[in-house]
Amino acid sequence: MKITLILLALKIWSELQLTAADPGAGLRTWDRFSKLPYPGDKAFLYDTFPDNFLWAVGTAAYQVEGAWEKDGKGKSIWDTFTRGGNRIVRGDVGSDSYHNIPGDLRALQQLGVSHYRFSLSWPRIFPNGSRSSYNEKGADYYKTLIRGLKEIKVQPVVTLYHWDLPDNLQTRFGGWNNSILVDLFKEYADFCFKTFGADVKYWITIDNPFVVAWHGYGTGVVAPGIKNDSDLPFRVGHNLLKAHAAAWHLYDERYRVSQGGRVSMALASHWIKPSRTRQENRKACQCSLDFVLGWFARPLFVDGDYPPCMKRNLTHRLPSFSETEKAYIRHTADFFALSHGPALSFLINDSLRFGQTEDLDLRMLLYWVNEEYNNPPIFVVESGWFVSGNTKTKDAKHMYYLKRFIMETLKSIRFDKVNVIGYTAWSLLDGFEWYREYGIRRGLYYVDFNTPDLKREPKTSAIFYSKLIEKNGFPQLPENRPAQGVFPCNFAWGVAANSIQVETTPTQFADPSIYIWNISGNGELKKLEGTQVLPLRRARHCADYATIRQQVSEVRRIHVSHFHFSLNWSSIVPTGHASEANDTLLGYYHCFVSELQRANITPVVTLWHHTGKISSLPIPMEANGGWQSTETVRAFAEYARLCFRRLGAHVKLWITLNEPNEEGLGYEVGHQLLRAHALAWRVYDKEFRQVQGGKVSLVLHMDWVEPAFSFNREDVAPANRVLDFRVGWFAEPIFGSGDYPPVMRSWLQQRNPIDLFNYHLPTFSEEDRHLIKGTYDFFALSHFTTSMAYDEVEDKYTFKDKFEVQLISDVTWIMSPRRNSPVVPWGLRKALNWVNSRYKDVPIYVMGNGVQEDTARFKDSLRVYYLYNYINEALKAYTLDRVNLQGYFAYALNDQRDPGFGLYGHVQDEVIVKSSLTHYRNIIDHNGFPEHGSPPQHCPRVTQHCPGCHVLAKRPVVGFLSLVGLGILITLGLTIYYATKRHK
């Protein structure tokens, strides 16, 4: 007896625990995720799912079955709805799954899923909605389908009602507004459990009751299209909950023991984030979720009643449950069936957002459900995205959204400890997409609706999903792990800036005022009014420039060995004639590079930096045709000669042109830029190299372009084409054949048969080819981000007509504040390998690599992450791929000259050292990423330049006598000076 009482007490206590699910606990979600480490928490997770994870794909009857009046099927509300108003598109045929069970089974086998979610059509089984109208042929269709699933070892997940109510029940009773449907649905459920239940372990009673109630009986967007009663959705929702509870209790009482299945209701939700970081905004988000998801989830999983937020806002408009009804409804779900995707996301009214911002974060939604409803097992029964109706088999957008949602599910399991038991990709086939009709496609399999047999063909998303299921997630590959090792001792560590601060008047002795130093008081300097010193007649020294001292000090603090900056051609030679150069400015630049060298920092100097829409040419040249004029090309060579002559003693690395391969410049301008670079290089090679011993090249902008998918050889062609046009355009004439890439020339000839698009590519003369080919000493590139390419139009705004490619980003990548600039570290490694494979063993410098971040963020965690991972990928290219990498330059020095990119920030006149600078310096000090516990790398110390030291080393006697002689002369001079002074 005591044991029985103890067991009873334990049972009551456990039920109380389940009941007390701490409603409102989901409010912690936004606070928790705001404190997770950024951007590390956003990084892709390489891991696998639990061994027993359920991989599924789904469909809905009206979307795919077709045969709308075949074999005794009755009309549904969708058959009527699509024939009303001005609608001409219907789901009468859909994907014709009714006549193609073998085709659907083949598709399921190819995917390798463990479960298939499909819905039964109520009017196909009971044409008028009641058991008295039973249609045997309709039931036989589903028996055949379930039998076929059993043969291929795929478990069915069966939905009783997915929006296609028998039209007779809508016409006769007013549909779900009438409580009589509770009993009719129970009767229909009873037949389905009894007929199919022996082979079904997962049942969904009703799909997405929010859409049924709100959009079917409120906005009128979906069938039955009623929109004249603002309170009607809440009455409909009330009856849907009762109908579900009736079906659940029926299964629990009559079928659970013998069939061993589980029953739930598929609840859809959006995700919402606070528009401001205040508690009231988070409460508004909580209320938004309560109105959409909590409307049905709280009665099922908590207390059988509606959320308090709904009660407060709706008062009498919201029906109420009696205590008996509450007890009957609560806990009538064996798992949480969650639906997420375009069926609801970004489709709710503004009033239901409560002034907050909608988002697509499945991970946060899963965590919220877990917290709000006491850690239920969650089966994601619908998830995915869509592509346009014109897209065929290359559905990259859908594929990458699937990847994102599955990765977020994996993080939810591994990081957040949420009990997610399965994931369902939506959908198996293209079909009729409800109110969007055939305007979008969501299938993993493409259906050609224009062919008689509605041919099915796997899309890229199907291939991706099948591979993912095969691997049970995203197992980590060796190339995804951080590398350990160091760069060579002579590796060039640098920082880059577009320009430097120029001060043509020295500030060291610019103030003629006289001051008194108040030594005994506060130590302040007091200016004597009305008195000035005579002008100082002394030669200027480079140390007199305060701006030079400050900038060199800032560079030196980073511990870099090199500093890359650009000269201003239009300021040095305002008229365009090198003979009329600004000598004062040249003197300043000379001081800057000499002071860098004194600080043991190697200057890397760019002659011309492309600045986008703002011209950086001397004004007379810009007015005379700019770079299209051969006069500009010749003038650039003279300007280069001037700079080499005046600055070359201190500059050992020259860049002629920085990022000239900008698409907007055009091919004619590009042709002239190549000639200008070559002329400048030849000038240095013939006139200065032997004496100065420097090296010259140009910097090409090279963001990586990855194939959006690479399941066959044809998939890589679009990405290669873009790289040829963007990088090969300049690289091939200089580093390769001396001509433009063959792909580039043939493609433009094909695209421009009658010269309508101005795609003309100039031809090199033999003289030009000889002039340009081989004009390099190293390959320098700037790299910031990566994009993906494929040859199908999805978004006309990001489709590149010239290349006939669609450019996209993987939505799992970390996004930076800069538009279309995601953080993709491995793109740098691929870019370096591309150069190395094309131009074997060429020395390579990464002359610019950085990310834009809010200038107010001095703890710039995104840049810290960026630098660490990009440099690590550069190390992999050097150590694993044998790329001849000579140097790496972080971009940029400070926010003043390059806003948002700087390692230094500024608040008014104060210079702020950002976190990224400290981390970058640490990498430099270790020369990479040495293994823990490994002995330190031994590199010979670089000694300061010492004129004459070689004499002491090679001829010690001569050197010693020279020093003695110098000492005697100095002593003699001092003796004469003081003797003369004493005499006077």
C-alpha 619/C-alpha 631 separation (Å) is 13
One DSSP character per residue, 565-608 reads EE--HHHHSTTS-GGG--HHHHHHHHHHHHHHHHTT-EEEEEEE
For position 506, what pLDDT does the model report?
67
Using the 8-state DSSP alphabet, how is residue 291 labeled? I
Report whether pLDDT(639) > 80. Answer: yes
Q: State residue 10's pLDDT score.
A: 34
Backbone angles phi, psi at 697, to 5 degrees: -160, -165
Least confident of 127-141, 197-211, 513-527, 714-728: 513-527
Of residues 220 and 939, which shows the higher confidence score? 220
Q: How far apart are the C-alpha atoms of 443 and 58, rounded to whole Å?
A: 9
Q: CB-hemisphere CA count at 13 Å for 527?
A: 6
Output the pLDDT for position 908. 86
Helix or strand (DSSP H, E) at 707: strand 704-707
How confident is the model at residue 616, as a pLDDT?
81
pLDDT in tens, 489-506: 999 999 999 999 998 776
Q: Is the pLDDT of residue 520 over 70?
A: no
Confidence band, pLDDT 50/70/90 cuts, at residue 924: very high
3-class state of residue 456 by DSSP: strand
CA separation for the pair 752, 189 (Å, rounded): 64
The answer on pLDDT for 624 being more than 60 is: yes
The rounded distance, in Å, linking the Cα atoms of 144 and 556 is 77
pLDDT at 123 over 90: yes
Mean per-residue pLDDT for 456-472?
97
656, 680 contact by CB (below 8 A)? yes
Region 52-71 average pLDDT: 97
Across 225-229, 234-238, 338-342, 972-976, least confident range: 972-976
Average pLDDT of the segment spanning 231-246 = 98
- How much is the pLDDT for 2? 40
Cα atoms found within 13 Å of the Cα of residue 431, Cβ hemisphere only: 25
CA distance 195 to 125: 11
Is a pLDDT exceeding 60 seen at residue 952? no
pLDDT at 26 over 50: yes
- What is the predicted pLDDT for the residue at 976? 67
* Per-residue pLDDT, 16: 36
Question: 493 — alpha (psi -120 to 50), left (phi > 0) or beta?
Answer: beta
What share of the chain has pLDDT > 90, as a percent?
81
Q: Do 788 and 835 form a contact (C-beta atoms < 8 A)? A: no
Judged by average pLDDT, the poorest of 147-151, 471-475, 525-529, 675-679 is 525-529
pLDDT at 84 (0 to 100): 87
Confidence at 795, pLDDT banded by 50, 70, 90? confident
Instruction: Name the strand (E) or helix (H) holding 78.
Output: helix 77-81
Residue 935 backbone phi and psi in degrees, to 5: -65, 150
Tokens of 620: 């007379």
Q: Which of 639, 637, 636 is nearest to 647 (CA)?
A: 639
For all residues of the chain together, what is the average pLDDT? 91
Torsion of CA 467, 472, 478, 484, to 10 degrees: 140
CA distances to 696, 776, 780, 959 from 730, rounded to whole Å, are 15, 12, 12, 52
Domains detected in the chain: 21-472 (3.20.20.80), 492-510+542-929 (3.20.20.80)
Q: What mean pLDDT do residues 53-80 have?
A: 97
Report the C-alpha gap between 331 and 19 in whole angstroms.
8
Task: Pick the more confident residue, 880 or 516.
Answer: 880
Q: Are residues 792 and 399 in contact, defined by beta-carbon separation less than 8 angstroms? A: no
- Tell whether the model's pLDDT for residue 570 goes beyond 80: yes
Which residues make beta-bridge pairs with 117? 58, 157
Confidence class for position 774, pLDDT limits 50, 70, 90:
very high
Angle between helical axes of 826-838 and 861-879 (0-180°, round to 10): 30
Number of other residues whose CB lies within 10 A of the CB of residue 591: 20
Q: Is 563 helix (H, G, I), strand (E, B) or coil?
A: strand
Per the structure block, which two tokens stand in for 902? 């700087």
- Residue 445 parent element (H or E): strand 445-447
For 115-121, what is the mean pLDDT? 98
Give the confidence band of 11 by pLDDT, cuts at 50, 70, 90. very low
Return the closest-CA partner of residue 565 out of 619, 540, 601: 601
The count of residues in the chain is: 984
What is the amino acid identity at position 713?
A: R
pLDDT (tens digit, 9 = 90+) per residue, 211-232? 999 999 999 999 999 998 999 9
Q: Please check the confidence at residue 684 and state whether its pLDDT lies above 80.
A: yes
Q: Higher-confidence residue: 826 or 758?
A: 826
pLDDT > 60? residue 509:
no
The band of 456, judged by pLDDT with boundaries at 50, 70 and 90, is very high
Using alpha carbons, list the distances in angstroms from residue 380 to 292, 362, 410, 670, 819: 17, 10, 12, 53, 32
Query: What pLDDT does residue 951 have?
Result: 46
Q: Tokens for 445?
A: 């399999």
Reading the block at residue 978, the tokens are: 């003081």
Strands (E), 723-870: 779-782, 786-790, 799-800, 805-808, 814-815, 822-823, 844-849
How many angstroms separate the CA atoms of 222 and 298, rounded? 25
Average the pLDDT over each of 577-581, 712-716, 842-846 and give the range with the smallest value.
Answer: 712-716
DSSP 668-684: HHHHHHHHHHHHHHHHH
What's the mean pLDDT in 125-145? Answer: 98
Q: What's the pLDDT at 349?
A: 85
